[in-house]
Amino acid sequence: MATHKRLPAIARYFPVFQWGKTYDRDIFTNDLVAALIVTIMLIPQSLAYALLAGLPAEMGIYASIVPIILYAIFGTSRALAVGPVALISLMTAAAIGNMALQGTAEYITAALTLAFISGLFLIAMGIFRLGFLANFLSHPVIAGFITATGLIIATSQLKHILGINASGHNLQELFSSIFSNLSQTNFYTLVIGAGATGFLFWVRKGMKPALQKLGFSPRIAEIATKAGPVAAVVITIFVTWIFDLTENGVKVVGAVPQGLPPLTLPSFSSEIWEQLIGAAVLISIIGFVESISVAQTLAAKKRQRIDPNQELIGLGAANIGASLTGGYPVTGGFSRSVVNFDAGAETPAAGAYTAIGLALAAVFLTPLIFYLPKATLAATIIVAVLSLVDFSILKKTWAYSKADFIAVAATMLLTLTMGVEIGIVAGVGLSILIHLYNTSRPHMAVVGLVPGTQHYRNVLRHKVETHEHILTLRVDESLYFANARYLEDSIYDMVAKRPKLEHVILMCPAVNAIDMSALESLEAINERLKALDIKFHLSEVKGPVTDRLKRCDFFHHLTGKIYLSQHQAIEELTKG
C-alpha cells in the first residue's frame, strides 16, 4: 500500500528545497544545455517584446533575469520559462499608453509600477488560495482573445516593417493609421523587415528538415533552428552597419545601456495606483492562466505536479523582482517554455542558468546591437504571435455549443474593435452570464423505470414504466438562487396536469449543493403540495447536501421521505 509523505512547510513554499535534494551532474548538464538554447532564443525575443510594450529594448532583457531566478526559487514547474510575452507586453502598452508618452521617465515608472501591483496581487491570491478565480476565464474565451490580440500585435508591428509612423489600440485604428501613412514607406526598411519575416517563417517550418537532408543530426538541426532568430539579428545588424542604412532612414535600436539590471523603484502615488490597478488585475489573471496552462501541460508529460496557488506566489515574486530591477510585467511564456522542455530542462535551475546567460549578454553584447533594425524585432514578434492565431476555435464552438461560440465571437470582435481590456472583460462577463442563464433553466426530466432493470430514465428518450399517482422529476443541476423559482414553477405546472397525483419525488443525483434560496423554494413546494394532499419526497440525495439540510428543520416538516435510491422509493410507494 502506497504512502504519501507530507512535504515540510519550507519545501511547500520554497520548492527549490524539494528538487534541489536530488540535483546531480547529469541534471546539471541537461539544464545547462537547455539554458544555452533558451538564452539564444530569448535575446532577440526579449528585445522585441520590450519594443512591443513601448519600452526601451534593454528592459526586455532586464525583465528576463531576476524574475527567472525568483521563479526558480518559488515556482513548482520544472520547465516553465518566465519573462516578457507578447500578450502581456501588448496589455502593458495599452494600460500605460494613455498615462504618459513613450520614451519618457513617467512611462517607464508606470511600467515598473504595473509589474509591482501585479506581483502583489498574484502573491495575495496565492496566500489566500484564490487560484480558482482563473477558472472564470473559459478556454474558448481565452483562445478567442489570444487569436484577436495576435492579430492586433502583428498589425501593430507593420509600422516597423514599413518604416512609417502609425498608432492605435484596435485593428480599425491601426489599419487606418497605417494606410494613411503608407506613402511614407521606407524601401530599405521594407526589404529588411519583409526579408527577416520570410526568413523566420522558413526557420520555423523548413530549416530543420533542410539541415537534416544535408546530413546534420536531429539534435544539431534542432539547436540551429532555435538559433534562427539570432541569425536574422546578426545578418541584419551586419547589413545595416556595412551599408550605413541608418542614413537611409532605417530605424535601429541604438545605444543600449551596458551592464546588469539597475535597482529601480515603482511609484507609490495613489493616483497612479488607481489608474493601473484594474489593468494590473487583468494582466495578473491572464498571465496566470497562460502560465498555468503551459506549466500543467508540460508537467503532465513527466507525471509531475503543479501547485496552482504556489505558482501564483512564484509569478508574483517574479513580477515584484521585475519592478525592482528595471523590468515590466512577466509571466510564463508558451514558446520559450516548450523550447526549454524540448531542450531537456529538468529543474527550474535551467531558468537560473538562462538568467546568467542573459546577464552576460547585458554586460558584453549590448554594444553589438546598436545597428539592430527595429524591423527585425518586429519580424520576430509577427512570426511568434501569428503561430498563436487559431480561427478554428470558431468552427469548433459553433459545432459544439452555440453559447460558447457567442462568447468567443464577441470576445474576438470586441478585442479587435475596442481594444484588449474591453475584449477580455466582455468575454469573461459574457461567459458568466451564459453560465448563469444555462444554470437558471436546468435540464429536468420526468423519469420512469426501464423494464427489467432498476434504472430510471427520461420518459421522452426511453420506453419506461410510470405510475399515474407518482411523479418523479430528476433535476440535473445544483439548486441555487438563480434556478430555485424555475424549479418551483416547473413542479407546479406538472402537478396541475396530473389530477390523480399522490406523490412527487425529486430525484437528486446531480444536485451537488442547495443554497438558502433553493431551500426556501423546497419548503414552499412542500407546503403547496401538502395543501393539495400530495406528499413530497426526495431520492438519491448526496451526503454533503443531506448534512446541510439536517442543520435546519426541513426534514421535520417534509410530508414525505428521503430515499437512498429511486428504486427504493418506487418499490415502497407502489406496495399498496
What digits encode the pLDDT tens for the residues 400-430?
A: 988 889 989 999 999 999 888 888 888 888 8
pLDDT (0 to 100) of residue 8 = 58
C-alpha 254/C-alpha 426 separation (Å) is 40
pLDDT (0 to 100) of residue 471 = 97
Q: pLDDT of 324-367, one tens digit each?
A: 999 999 999 887 888 788 777 888 888 889 999 999 999 998 88
Which stretches of 48-151 are assigned E, i.e. beta strand?
82-83
Q: pLDDT of 189-209, one tens digit each?
A: 999 999 999 999 998 888 889
CA angle, residues 48, 362, 70, in degrees to nearest 5? 85
pLDDT (0 to 100) of residue 435 = 84
Least confident range of 122-126, 366-370, 519-523:
366-370
Nearest 10 degrees: Cα torsion 435, 441, 442, 444: -160
CA angle, residues 148, 233, 41, in degrees to nearest 5? 65
Instruction: Put residue 259 in one of left, alpha, beta given phi > 0 → left and psi -120 to 50 → alpha.
Output: left
Angle in degrees, 0-180, between the axes of helices 86-96 and 105-127, rounded to the nearest 10: 120
C-alpha 379/C-alpha 1 separation (Å) is 56
Please give the average per-residue pLDDT across 306-312, as a whole number. Answer: 89
Count, in order, helices (H) and strands (E) of the chain.
27, 8
Q: Which residues contact 5 (CB under 8 A, 6 or more apart)?
A: none
pLDDT (0 to 100) of residue 7 = 52
- Residue 530 binned pLDDT confidence (cut-offs 50, 70, 90): very high
pLDDT (0 to 100) of residue 35 = 87
Place of cell 492586433: 152
Please give the average per-residue pLDDT across 9-19, as a whole number. Answer: 69
pLDDT (0 to 100) of residue 1 = 41
Containing 527, the helix (H) or strand (E) segment is: helix 516-531
Containing 506, the helix (H) or strand (E) segment is: strand 503-507
C-alpha 193/C-alpha 393 separation (Å) is 30
Please give the average per-residue pLDDT across 293-318, as a whole number. Answer: 86
Q: Which residues contact 354 (CB under 8 A, 6 or more apart)?
A: 35, 38, 39, 42, 64, 68, 81, 340
Least confident range of 134-148, 232-246, 373-387, 441-455:
134-148
With b for 16 or more beta-carbon neighbours within 10 A and e for fewer, the 386-401 pattern comes to eebeeeebbeebeeee
Please give the average per-residue pLDDT across 531-541, as a whole number. Answer: 96
Strands 444-449 and 470-475 turn out to be: antiparallel
C-alpha 194/C-alpha 389 separation (Å) is 20
| CB-CB neighbours of 109 under 10 Å | 19
For the cut 80, the answer to whether the pLDDT of residue 211 exceeds it is yes
- Check the CA dihedral 113-414-98-155 and report its sign: positive
Please give the average per-residue pLDDT across 500-517, as a whole number. Answer: 96
CATH 3.30.750.24 at 444-573, yes or no: yes
pLDDT (0 to 100) of residue 387 = 81
Q: pLDDT of 217-255, one tens digit each?
A: 887 887 788 778 888 999 999 999 999 999 999 999 988
pLDDT (0 to 100) of residue 12 = 64
**In the chain, % of residues over pLDDT 70:** 97
Q: Of 71, 23, 59, 57, whose CA–CA distance to 336 is shortest?
A: 71
For the cut 80, the answer to whether the pLDDT of residue 62 exceeds it is yes
- Residue 4 binned pLDDT confidence (cut-offs 50, 70, 90): very low
Are the CB atoms for 185 and 164 separated by under 8 Å? yes
pLDDT (0 to 100) of residue 27 = 87
**In the chain, % of residues over pLDDT 90:** 61
pLDDT (0 to 100) of residue 110 = 96
Greatest mean pLDDT among 76-90, 122-136, 176-190, 346-360: 176-190
Q: DSSP H helical segments within 206-307, as ranges?
A: 208-213, 218-226, 228-242, 270-301
Which stretches of 54-169 are assigned E, i.e. beta strand?
82-83
Q: Of 305, 306, 308, 328, whose CA–CA distance to 318 is shortest?
A: 328
Q: pTM above 0.85?
A: no
Please give the average per-residue pLDDT across 293-312, as a whole number. Answer: 84
- Residue 45 binned pLDDT confidence (cut-offs 50, 70, 90): confident
Domain ranges (residues) in the chain = 9-407, 444-573
3-state secondary structure (DSSP) of residue 505: strand
- Residue 6 binned pLDDT confidence (cut-offs 50, 70, 90): low
Average per-residue pLDDT in the chain? 90
Least confident range of 33-37, 201-205, 491-495:
33-37
- Residue 13 binned pLDDT confidence (cut-offs 50, 70, 90): low
